[in-house]
Amino acid sequence: MKVTFTALFWMAAMTGVFAQPSIVSLAPASAIPGQQLNIIIMGVNTHFQQGLTQVQLGDGISVQSIQVQAPDRLSALVEIDASAADGFRQVVVTTASERAEMDAAFEIFDASSGARAILTLLPADVMYLSDFAADNLQAAPILFNISVINGAVEEALKLRLEVYHSDYNKILTASKNLGTIQPNQVVLLDNRDLEDYTTTGGSKALLDEANKTGVLPPGAYTYKLILMDGRGNVIAEDEAFNTITNTLTGLELIGPGTPLSESPEVIFNNFPMFQWFSASNEFSLQLFEVRPQQSSPDDIADNFPVYEQQGIFNSFFQYPNSAEILEEGKTYAWRITATFFDSRGKQTKSSELFWFSYKSASGEHLQAERIEIAPANQTMKIGQARQFSATGFDKEGNEVPLQVKWQVIPADGGTIDANGLFRAGTQPKPVAIVAEYGGIKEHTSVILEWNPEWLENQFMDKFLKEVFGLQH
């Protein structure tokens, strides 16, 4: 029986597995002996790093190359030995001392047993309408991969995909004529390769609801894949599920510090202001001393915290005078854990680690004690532009001229130029505008709201086609 990503996520949420690095998805998740293919591996709480991350898929499978695309996503080119034994393999991904694994994650099978069609979903908690721009269908995100493995006889094959929503019933049917497939031939596709789509009555109601918020409605999406021969007989089927929760769980650190992949930032205040950005509203903070030669997040997090604080209800925290004083020349790392609630109940999510070194302040860095950003706490429509400015103040409250470095968090929330002109992105969500000068950082929040007019120029059939990446 196939275990879907959604089932794995629910089991992990119930058992707390996601507190540790885990592998949650492989696509495709099967192959035949002698085949070479690219496998996309998705993780949770992982820190994949190009040149450092290694992948093992068990006996009979060699990894030719690895391309890390994000800390929780990589692509591995693998080759299946012609004599590889049938059966399931465990996947293990290591990054320095970090180990993420998934049992029975990849299957090798004998193609002579008959044709197969395998559907593998990629996890998604939120899907934004604006991710599917009608003028750029190929930019639509990959939602699923399909592997078709023919049996021992040459066959004309055709695929049909049906998509259902738990509240709107069937919303889409698509098909793909694969033509004549040779014995044991493997055909790999994703959602952008299908065609001959047909929308149903449920799709109109789904789009009407989506256009109120800019995200696809939450609920369970069911994908049914059917493989037919040239006479229309069903010879293989597969089914997978994904639950869209629309829970915004983004958690990004602002400062002090930099990611572990960069050199530690030098700060000049031993009672710093910790700042982060998240849609959650309850947090805890941990601060660790980094020992010599440590750079792995697992090794650092294994250290006993020099300071911890629970029950923080803002996205900032002033390091208190009562805490252990930061020592000059030492390096420290910190992280935030957010608490949020979704359809699965109470959940937690931890940020990456930022690190910094403390140094006594010089006169140059004492000129500006704080930064103010104007305007503060804005609400904008997606795609709009707004000018921001930053003013520095010294310890007496006098203005200090400065040229700040601007940043948008998360990076896909929009762009901001060197003069503070912010252009909002196309996803309705909260973002942070950050100003930094001499190790001092300040931020203000901007709520990006959905603009229902965005969909007015989208034809429904074309839009549903591109939501699932389908082409004529």
Rounded Cα distance, 406 and 387, in Å: 12
CA torsion 66→70→72→78, rounded to 10°? -20
DSSP per position, 40-63: EEEEES----TTTEEEE--TTEEE
Containing 387, the helix (H) or strand (E) segment is strand 385-387
| pTM exceeds 0.75 for this model | no
> What is the pairing mode between strands 421-424 and 414-416?
antiparallel
Torsion sign (Cα): 221, 227, 228, 233: negative
End-to-end C-alpha distance for the chain, whole angstroms: 34
pLDDT tens over the chain, length 472 residues: 343 433 433 333 333 334 578 898 887 888 888 888 888 898 888 889 889 999 999 999 999 999 998 788 899 999 999 999 989 999 999 998 889 999 988 988 876 777 888 888 876 777 887 776 545 555 667 788 888 888 888 999 999 999 999 999 988 888 899 999 998 888 888 887 887 777 777 788 888 888 888 888 888 889 999 999 989 999 999 988 888 877 766 788 998 999 988 899 888 888 888 999 887 888 999 999 999 988 888 889 999 999 999 999 988 899 998 898 899 989 999 999 998 765 455 678 889 999 999 887 655 455 678 899 999 889 999 889 999 999 998 888 888 888 899 999 888 899 999 999 999 988 888 889 999 887 788 899 898 988 887 666 554 455 555 555 544 3
Report yes or no: 372 and 388 within 8 Å, Cβ to Cβ.
no
For residue 307, the model assigns a pLDDT of 95
Strands 430-437 and 378-381: unpaired
Whose CA is closest to 39, among 55, 24, 27, 51? 27
Q: How far apart are CA 254 and CA 411, in angstroms?
A: 12
As a whole number of angstroms, the distance between CA 233 and CA 167 comes to 30
Q: Which amino acid is at 443?
A: H
DSSP codes of every residue in 229-291:
ETTS-EEEEEEEEEEE------EEEEESSEETTSPPEEES-SSPEEEEEES-SEEEEEEEEEP
d(CA 286, CA 280) in angstroms, rounded, equals: 17
**How far apart, in whole angstroms, are the C-alpha atoms of residue 216 and residue 218?**
6
CA distance 367 to 400: 7
